[in-house]
Chains A and B, each alone.
Chain A
Amino acid sequence: MSKNFRAKVINNFALNPRTFLLEIEPIEETIAPKPGQFYMIQPDSSYDPLLKRPFSYIRKSNGKIQFLCAIKGKGTRLMMNFHSNKIISMLGPFGNGYPIFKSNHISLLIAGGTGIASILSLSNEVQNKYLIYGARTRDELLLLDKIEELGDRFIVCTNDCSYGKKGMVDELLKDFINSHKDNINSIIIYACGPLPMLKAISKISAENNIKGFASLEENMACGFGACLGCAVKTKQGYQRVCKEGPVFPFKEIIW
């Protein structure tokens, strides 16, 4: 069982011009991931780019692991062109993952853009759940086929009204809270997405005294706590997104 392993590319295809779905299969024995954890993937074996990149996994089934990757620069452009059967170098799983509670409560999952990857890893593990998912346009709403099975417990919005409701997820969150006034104390929010979105959600949940957790993203060199590059300011001082995170309680983060 190693956290430093090689994997074979099984599938790799574009979901839109800026995002692709990568499926890999480790060729060594690995450790099972927990929802909200992430892996480091090496784009190339040359030294340029040098570092591995962190990606939340979407799901692991039949030994295969799926990732949602947004094209950000040189590394992800190389990864977009990974062909089937290519052997790549990976590390993980790393990070704390989402806390899962045994108690009887409503899990409200909130995702923005590619944040849906991390949220989907959690959605299979929690019961009594709702999902709010937003993106700028219809084109940026990803993996809808995997989530529409939630039926009326799935609320979607786009900023430009090209699909679902018009607006931002924080507006949908306010509506959700208003329609669940009676059992507001049993809601737990899990959120992943752009920082402004997380900040807005954190504020609303604080105003309504709702417990919540955010999965954060930060540049990191190693992924396992050594480089101290991925520091985020919290009430306990700087903490590592890769080790103490990526999931932090809303109230711990200094936004």
Chain B
Amino acid sequence: MNLTVEIGRLKLKNPVMSASGTFGYAEEFSDFVDLNKLGAIVVKGISIKPMEGNPPPRICETACGMLNSIGLQNVGLKKFLKEKLPYLNKLKTIIIVNILGNSISDYVKLSKTLEDSGIEAVELNVSCPNVKKGGISFGINDKMLAKLISKVRQSAQKITLITKLSPNVSNIPLFAKVAEDSGSDAISLINTIPALAIDIETWKPKLANITGGLSGPAIKPIALRMVWEAAETVKIPVIGIGGIMNAGDAIEFLLAGATAIQVGTGNFVNPGATIDILEGIEDYLKRKSINDIKGIIGGMNGKCTNNNSDN
């Protein structure tokens, strides 16, 4: 069975990746999964300087999901290269580093330094809702996004460039196209959806940051629609993210047109989720007598019939 997929210059052994910010620097999951079996690992977002993150409480649960306002707490580029990368380099899987900056020059410096350190791919985080500067301000302005991606592309020419899109825009195809036209090798979506929860006894917001990003099964149908719209628009690979908990969810994203998928919040609930999903996809392909994963990518066809399997 062929499970390999291509994202830019990368050849992934299968389409299952971890989502940034939910998988630490991979070592946190070594007790639970054989990391070498994953298609790729996307590590926690890295900024040039270490970031402390937001004050607690940082998370709260909501129906079929959770809000987080971690605020991109991370060890910074220098410490990442010195203390985290040696472990990641030992793994036999592709490492994708999610990067975040306050300015275009931050993103340029991060991607160039990582390229020079032998990293094969970066994911541009232009969609985090939990920080005041940078991040999402690029992801919701098409002209800024075009400029950012072009500058990074000019400077780091070998590295595979993935742009992680925000769901916080009214027109996903526009931003998907901007990413493609500016030199991004792939796009990944969606990041969390800005949201709010209030304690009705104290009348206070449940998060110290007031708002946070909603993730988990609650956002899956929205994510799936956006991934489908993006995949219909661009020729570069689309990586589907949003509420993927099991193989069935992952397969839906592949059918919608995603070339690969990322598991996020699902890792918290079941730290073995990535491998369970991978095995579930293999079982599904066997059951359907399909011997190549590419046989289902973008496979959603035509009109709805009245005999959907769920009903």
Which residues of A pack against B, CB within 8 Å? Answer: 2-4, 42, 47-52, 75, 89, 91, 218-222, 224-233, 237-238
Residue from B59, B245, B271, B272 in contact with A219 in the complex, judged by beta carbons closer than 8 Å: B59
* Contacting residues, chain B, for A230 (C-beta < 8 A): 56, 58-59
* Contacting residues, chain A, for B70 (C-beta < 8 A): 227-229, 231
* Contacting residues, chain B, for A75 (C-beta < 8 A): 61
Question: Given the known A-B contacts A4-B272, A47-B216, A51-B269, are A228 and B58 also in contact in the complex, defined by CB atoms under 8 Å?
Answer: yes
Question: Given the known A-B contacts A49-B61, A50-B216, A226-B23, are A231 and B269 also in contact in the complex, defined by CB atoms under 8 Å?
Answer: no
12 additional A-B residue pairs with CB within 8 Å, beyond A51-B66, A221-B59, A228-B53: A2-B31, A4-B271, A47-B64, A49-B61, A219-B61, A224-B271, A226-B29, A228-B58, A229-B59, A230-B56, A232-B56, A233-B55
Are B65's CB and A50's CB within 8 A? yes
Question: Given the known A-B contacts A4-B272, A221-B66, are A231 and B217 also in contact in the complex, defined by CB atoms under 8 Å?
Answer: no
Q: Is B267 an interface residue (CB 8 A)?
A: yes
Which residues of B pack against A, CB within 8 Å? Answer: 21-24, 28-29, 31-32, 52-53, 55-61, 63-66, 68, 70, 73, 216-217, 245, 265, 267-272
* Contacting residues, chain A, for B23 (C-beta < 8 A): 226
Question: How many pairs of residues, A versus B, come closer than 8 Å at their CB atoms?
Answer: 93
Q: How far is the CB of A219 from chain B (nearest CB, A)?
A: 5
* Contacting residues, chain A, for B245 (C-beta < 8 A): 47
CA distance A81 to B217 in the complex (A): 25
Question: Given the known A-B contacts A47-B216, A226-B24, A228-B73, are A221 and B53 also in contact in the complex, defined by CB atoms under 8 Å?
Answer: no
The 5 A-B pairs at the shortest CB distance, nearest first, are namely: A229-B59, A222-B268, A221-B268, A47-B217, A47-B64
Q: How far is the CB of A44 from chain B (nearest CB, A)?
A: 11
Residue from A3, A49, A226, A231 in contact with B22 in the complex, judged by beta carbons closer than 8 Å: A226
CA distance A241 to B73 in the complex (A): 15
Are B57's CB and A218's CB within 8 A? yes
Question: Given the known A-B contacts A48-B63, A231-B73, are A221 and B271 also in contact in the complex, defined by CB atoms under 8 Å?
Answer: no
Are A218's CB and B56's CB within 8 A? yes
Q: List 12 A-B contacts (CB under 8 A).
A: A3-B32, A51-B66, A218-B56, A219-B60, A221-B59, A222-B267, A222-B271, A226-B267, A228-B21, A228-B58, A231-B53, A231-B56
